[in-house]
Amino acid sequence: MLIRKEETAPLEASPPELAVPSAPSAGSAQPQAPSRPAPPTPASADQTAPRRSDDELFDLGALEGMTMADLLGPEPGRGRPGGERKAVPVAAQAAASRTVDDFDFDEEAFLAALDENEIVGTTGEVVSGTVVGVESDGVYVDIGGKAPGFMPKQEAGLGVITNLKERFPKGLRVEVLVTREQNADGMVTISARALALRQSWEKVRQLEKDGKVAQVVITGFNRGGVTCDLEGLRGFIPRSQLQDGENHEALVGKTLGVSFLEVNPETRKLVLSERKAATAARFGELEVGQLVEGQVAAIKPYGFFVDLGGVSGLLHHSSITGGALRDLREAFEVGERLKALITQLDPGRGRIALNTALLEGQPGELLIAKATVMAEATDRANRARSLLRQKEQEAG
Please give the model's pTM, rounded to 2 decimal places.
0.53
**Would the CA dihedral through 157, 158, 160, 161 be positive or negative?**
negative
The answer to whether position 101 is within a domain reads: no
Per-residue pLDDT tens listing for the chain (396 residues): 444 444 444 444 444 444 444 444 444 444 444 444 554 544 444 445 556 665 555 555 555 666 666 656 555 555 444 445 555 555 555 555 555 554 555 666 655 654 555 556 678 888 889 999 999 889 999 988 777 889 998 898 887 788 888 889 999 999 998 988 877 777 889 999 999 999 999 999 999 988 888 999 999 999 999 999 998 899 999 999 998 888 888 999 999 999 999 999 999 999 999 988 888 888 888 998 899 999 999 999 999 999 998 788 999 999 999 998 889 999 999 999 999 999 998 877 778 999 999 999 999 999 999 999 999 999 999 988 887 777 777 776
What pLDDT is stored for residue 11 in this prediction? Answer: 43
The answer to whether position 21 is within a domain reads: no
At residue 43's C-alpha, the angle toward residues 39 and 49, to 5°, is: 105
DSSP state of 273: E
**Distance between CA atoms of residues 217 and 153, nearest Å:** 27
Domain that holds residue 255: 211-279
Residue 151 and residue 168 in one domain? yes
Q: How many CB atoms lie within 10 A of CB 386?
A: 10
Choosing from 165, 196, 227, the residue where a domain stops is 196
The dihedrals phi and psi of 178, each to the nearest 5 degrees, come to -75, 120
Q: How many CB atoms lie within 10 A of CB 348?
A: 8
Q: How many CB atoms lie within 10 A of CB 43?
A: 14
What pLDDT is stored for residue 262 in this prediction? Answer: 94
Question: Which residue, among 277, 283, 284, 195, has the nearest Cα to 235 in the 3D structure?
Answer: 277
Residue 274 and residue 292 in one domain? no
**Distance between CA atoms of residues 259 and 211, nearest Å:** 8
CA-based end-to-end distance of the chain: 105
The answer to whether position 204 is within a domain reads: no
The answer to whether position 33 is within a domain reads: no
The answer to whether position 385 is within a domain reads: yes
Residue 391 and residue 291 in one domain? yes
What pLDDT is stored for residue 76 in this prediction? Answer: 55
Residue 180 and residue 232 in one domain? no
Choosing from 279, 298, 330, the residue where a domain stops is 279
Residue 320 and residue 341 in one domain? yes
The answer to whether position 201 is within a domain reads: no
Q: Name residue 173's beta-bridge partners.
A: 130
What pLDDT is stored for residue 34 in this prediction? Answer: 46
Residue 386 and residue 315 in one domain? yes
Give yes or no for a contact between 307 and 292, defined as CB atoms under 8 angstroms apart. Answer: no
Give yes or no for a contact between 273 and 258, defined as CB atoms under 8 angstroms apart. Answer: yes
Residue 372 and residue 343 in one domain? yes
DSSP 307-343: E-SSSEEEEEGGGT-SS--S-GGGT--TT-EEEEEEE
Q: Looking at residue 308, which CATH number applies to its domain?
A: 2.40.50.140
Chain-centre distance for alpha carbon 78: 63
The answer to whether position 270 is within a domain reads: yes
What pLDDT is stored for residue 186 in this prediction? Answer: 72
Q: Name residue 304's beta-bridge partners.
A: 299, 315
The answer to whether position 26 is within a domain reads: no
Number of domains in the chain: 4
CA gyration radius, the chain: 51
Choosing from 151, 171, 196, the residue where a domain stops is 196
Strand 255-264 to strand 269-273: parallel, antiparallel, or no bridges (unpaired)?
Answer: antiparallel
Cα dihedral 362, 363, 366, 369 in deg (nearest 10):
-50
**Distance between CA atoms of residues 140 and 152, nearest Å:** 9
Residue 307 and residue 345 in one domain? yes
**Distance between CA atoms of residues 50 and 127, nearest Å:** 79
